Structure 1
Amino acid sequence: MTEILGTQPAPDQWIVYVTAACALALVAFRTLWLPARNAITIAHEGGHGLVALATGRRLEAIRLHSDTSGLTVSRGRPTGVGVVLTLAAGYPAAPLLGLGGAALLGTGHVTLLLWAATALLLAMLVMVRNAYGILSVVLTGAAFLLVSWLTGPDVQSVFAYAVVWFLLLGGVRPAFELQAKRRHGGAPDSDADQLAGLTHVPAAVWLLFFHTVSICCLIGGCRWLLRF
């Protein structure tokens, strides 16, 4: 426990910039983004699931699909604060996780970050109900577990910074993708549209909310990671 809660020295600044550049490449280039986006989907659906439980809803299933879409099924009142918060939690989940990860790295808690991520993935695995989703979560969790057990502090630090940068940068793109789809008449049952139906607040306002959270998290994360 002492080792998990202990702190590790910050990596050289050039490593922070290299991991940021690698994460940016994963997000910016479509051929790299398509497979990497699965990690953002895991965070997105995990956000729905966690908030559903936190608001007293009954979480029944999480499904992750090979086209990087996902579905979280919860039961409870069809209207009200609980379902609104559950729907609103998806798009902000990855950026907020990135911001939390950046705060841990900024204070030297690399090991704690890796084990916390592993624990969250294990908890999510219990609720995944399709083969592709199980495979995705298991492989992602295995990567964290292997890095935590089999590598030294330097490799762990590089891995942790790369993951956090990807959550921060990759968390920005999905809201823009949703905005583009809606502009062309796609995604009629998106989170933003469902929220609009529940709250009578236009979907565009919810999109603005998603953009605001992701960009603010990116700015805040940069301050932690780059030590401004």
Structure 2
Amino acid sequence: MQPHSISQVWDQVTGTQAAPGSTVVWAMAAVALVAVGWRAVWHLSRNVVTIAHEGGHALVALLMRRRLHGIRLHSDTSGLTVSSGKPYGPGMVFTAAAGYTAPSLLGLGGAWLLSAGHTTALLWAVVALLLGVLIEVRNAFGVLTVLTTGALCFAVSWFGGAELQGAFAYLSVFFLLLGGVRPVVELQTKRARGQARDSDADQLARLTRLPGLLWIVLFLAVSLGSLALGARWLLP
């Protein structure tokens, strides 16, 4: 972008940009699918989904007027968001349910922005959200992960041309839409093996007395629904 004044920056952020060609769009969808489906790549790329997951917990905790104590992101792609308040009730339920739905809903919001031509606005919104997460991160690996992701998004939005911005934005949104599905499937696989007994779904089961499997179905419905609608908006 590299504008030379605040007004130019504002015009670029609030204005619209042309969508990439259909070949680029399909190519970015394919790259995102590889990043989610190939285990070796997923082990690294899943960190981005974890940022969105824990950021979702943190944002909803604040909206529910809970006290947020911090976020931790770990090298095994797990994470933890700690907040305090009533250990029961709607606030706790919404906070616990936000994690597995956040990546897909963020992807859906990004797809809506891209369908309206707001590529630069999307990239800057992502940078702003990552900055908000960074403020709450409480461990070195988490800081490094969020800083790296944020620096990449900022570099593309500030120095990249329209073609690069468009391709990167579509790749990011496709990745969130696809990446929101796999963790839900992985979670249920672990639960079926008797693992992850303190997962979000199991915490919600204890809070609401509804089966954990029902919450898994809800997570999956949100992720698949977001993927279907987002793909409809984005794919030529």
- Aligned position for 1:143: 152
1:49 CA drift (Å)? 0.2
The alpha-carbon deviation at position 50 of structure 1 amounts to 0.2
What is the Cα deviation at residue 184 of structure 1? Answer: 0.5
What's the RMSD between the two structures over aligned residues?
0.6
TM-score (norm 2): 0.95
Question: Do structure 1's residue 184 and structure 2's residue 193 form an aligned pair?
Answer: yes
Is residue 2:132 matched to residue 1:123?
Answer: yes
Q: Match for 2:21 among 12, 28, 44?
A: 12
1:51 corresponds to which residue? 60
Instruction: Report sequence identity in percent.
Output: 58
Can you list the C-alpha shifts for 1:75-133, whole angstroms capped at 9, x where unaligned? 10011000100000000000000000000001110000000000000011000000000
2:111 is aligned, of 92, 97, 102, to: 102
> Is 1:89 paired with 2:89?
no
- The alpha carbon displacement at 1:62 in A equals 0.3
Structure 1 residue 149, shift from structure 2 partner: 1.1
Code of the aligned partner of 2:31 = C
List, as ranges, runs of 4+ consecutive aligned residues in structure 1 with deviation greater than 3 Å: none
Once residues 158 and 24 of structure 2 are traced to their aligned partners in structure 1, the CA distance between those partners, rounded to angstroms, is: 21
Task: Give the unaligned 5+ runs of structure 1.
Answer: none
> In structure 2, which of residues 65, 78, 84 is the aligned counterpart of residue 75 of structure 1?
84
The whole-number CA distance in structure 1 between the counterparts of 2:151 and 2:211 is 41
Q: Normalised by the size of structure 1, how large is the TM-score? A: 0.99
| Aligned residue among 198, 222, 225 for 2:231 | 222
Take 2:36 and 2:133, find their aligned partners in 1: how far apart are those partners?
24
Q: Secondary structure at the match of 1:31?
A: helix
Deviations 1:48-74 (A, max 9, x none): 000000011011110000000000000
Q: Write the mapping of 1:13-28 to structure 2, written as runs, cut at 5 A.
A: 13-28=22-37
Aligned-partner Cα distance in 2 for 1:169–1:54: 26
Aligned to 2:183: 174
Determine the C-alpha separation between the residues in 1 that align with 2:46 and 2:193: 22
Number of aligned residue pairs? 227
1:154-208 residue CA offsets vs partner (Å, 9 max, x unmatched):
0000000000000000110000000000011110100000000010000000000
- Equivalent residue runs for 1:144-163 within 5 Å: 144-163=153-172
Question: What SS class does the counterpart of residue 186 from structure 1 fall into?
Answer: coil
Report the 3-state secondary structure (helix = DSSP H, G, I; strand = E; otherwise coil) of the residue aligned with 1:139. Answer: helix
Give 3-state SS (helix, strand or coil) of 1:187's partner: coil
